[in-house]
Structure formats: structure tokens, C-alpha cells
């Protein structure tokens, strides 16, 4: 629960929450923060932050500014700002972002690319 509380602070501005029992098969796109507690398959494209909580399961390619993963992600992540893999998360796929944080306890398998030239913004 400590991890959820930590993640709760930056989430105050988030308007969109995908609940734990929700399953989305398709594409999610938007210009605001997205909190995922449920399951998403397909593709996620955001201009803001994506928070994958401990109960969240993602089988999708992700394109956002920020990604915080506490749950499971299978797929490639491309973030223009930052990718943060929290403790107890499981991530399989390639990550491309100028800033990548991997916490102690996180499980990750895949390539990391911190080359900034493709990541716009910062």
C-alpha cells in the first residue's frame, strides 16, 4: 500500500482512471493523465503521464510523456520524458526514453534506449 500512496501524490490531476475490473481491448489516446488499475490490450498513446498501478496489467505499446509502472507491462514503452519502474513491477519489452529509473525489486526484461534524439521535449 505504501507504493500506492507514493504514486497517489502526482495523480491528483488525473481525471481518467481505468478500474481494476475493467478490460480494454483496443486503443487509448488522449491529452491527460491516465491511471490504470485494470487490463489494457492494444495501444496507449498519451501526451501526459501514464500510471500503471499494482493491479494494472498492460499488453500494449505505450507512447507517452511519463510512465510510472507498479504493475505489469508487456510491450514497448516510448516516453518523451521519463520511465519509472517501481518496486514489484514486471516489465517485458523495450524502453526508449531520455530518463529511465529502475527501482530495487523491479523485474525487467528488454532493451533500454536512452538516446535522446528521438525523444522530443526534454
**Residues lying near other proteins in the complex (CB under 8 A):** 4, 8, 11-12, 14-35, 38, 42
Residue 111 C-beta: closest distance to other proteins, Å: 27
Least Cβ distance, residue 34 to other proteins (angstroms): 7
* Cβ-based nearer residue to other proteins, 23 or 116: 23
Q: How far is the CB of 33 from other proteins (least distance, A)?
A: 8
Q: How far is the CB of 6 from other proteins (least distance, A)?
A: 12
Return the number of other C-beta atoms located less than 10 Å from residue 91's C-beta: 24
Closer to other proteins by Cβ: residue 44 or 100: 44
CA angle 51, 52, 54 (to 5 degrees): 130
SS3 60: strand
Q: Which is nearer to other proteins, 24 or 92 (CB)?
A: 24
Cβ atoms of 119 and 100 within 8 Å: the answer is no
Beta strands in the chain (DSSP E): 16-18, 23-30, 34-36, 39-46, 49-52, 57-69, 72-74, 77-85, 90-92, 95-96, 99-102, 107-109, 112-113
Q: Which is nearer to other proteins, 11 or 99 (CB)?
A: 11
Let me know how long the chain is.
Answer: 122
Amino acid at each position: 500500500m505504501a507504493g500506492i500512496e507514493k504514486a497517489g501524490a502526482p495523480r491528483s490531476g488525473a481525471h481518467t482512471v481505468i478500474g481494476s475490473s475493467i478490460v480494454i481491448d483496443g486503443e487509448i489516446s488522449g491529452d491527460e493523465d491516465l491511471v490504470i488499475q485494470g487490463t489494457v490490450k492494444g495501444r496507449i498513446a498519451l501526451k501526459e503521464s501514464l500510471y500503471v498501478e499494482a493491479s494494472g496489467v498492460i499488453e500494449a505499446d505505450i507512447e507517452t510523456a511519463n510512465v510510472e509502472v507498479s504493475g505489469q507491462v508487456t510491450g514497448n514503452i516510448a516516453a518523451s520524458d521519463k520511465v519509472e519502474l517501481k518496486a514489484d513491477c514486471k516489465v517485458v519489452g523495450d524502453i526508449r526514453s531520455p530518463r529511465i529509473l529502475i527501482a530495487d525489486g523491479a523485474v525487467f526484461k528488454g532493451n533500454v534506449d536512452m538516446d535522446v534524439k528521438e525523444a522530443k521535449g526534454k
